Structure 1
Amino acid sequence: MFRISAEVASDYSSRALGLMNRSVMPKHEGMIFVYPDKGLHCMWMKDTLIPLSVAFLDDNGEIINVERMSPQTETSHCAKAPARFALEMNAGWFESKGLGPGTKIKGVGSLPKGR
């Protein structure tokens, strides 16, 4: 089991800002994006300075897919099935823990509703 401390981005402005303009992120910290509706949500890294990995999660917190994202790029990284959440961590974090599609991330049920 791994404990994650994640900032919550549950409204449009916090999701749009995300982790932009940060130069470091502690080892077991990240950001979870909460969307109001399931969808094929996508992430990009235009003004993000650190390499990240994103796990797209369904309503129950099950990982749909994990994507590695390079800093300061405009490449879209999208959910491969309708997702309700996206969890960003330092690049390679999910892989280093053996977490991939089908793994359940606990605690998403207590997150605020996306708006």
Structure 2
Amino acid sequence: MHGLHILLVEEEYLIAADMEQTLRAAGAEDVTIVGDIDTAATYDFSDVQLAVIEAKFGSANAVALNDALRAAGVAVVVTSADHAVQALFTGATPLQKPFDSTALLAACEAARRRDPSLADPA
């Protein structure tokens, strides 16, 4: 995670804060927390290398956000309690809720390995 700018889309603030702490402890340079999919869709992805997005009920807006992030060359982790929902997100790495810090970091690394063009900044 060293030096990465990560976009974190999670509506539950305490969960987002915990995830941010985990990602920063793993070396993320910047973690931007956005509380909803619609706001995240307006975000400038140009300096984001990784995104972790919460996907509830297969929201069309969440799927569109995933597609926009992937088109911008951003590795994506999709968190959900529903495997069927995660299957809607092409090119994203699924992360089953609930998860712990170790699983979060493993999913983030897996997402970055899925796309070899997403090398560590440095």
TM-score range, shorter chain: 0.3 to 0.5
| TM-score normalised by the chain length of structure 2 | 0.32
Q: Which has the higher contact order (CA 8 A, sep 6+)?
A: 1
- Whichever structure has more helix as a proportion of its residues is 2
| TM-score normalised by the chain length of structure 1 | 0.34
- Whichever structure has more strand as a proportion of its residues is 1
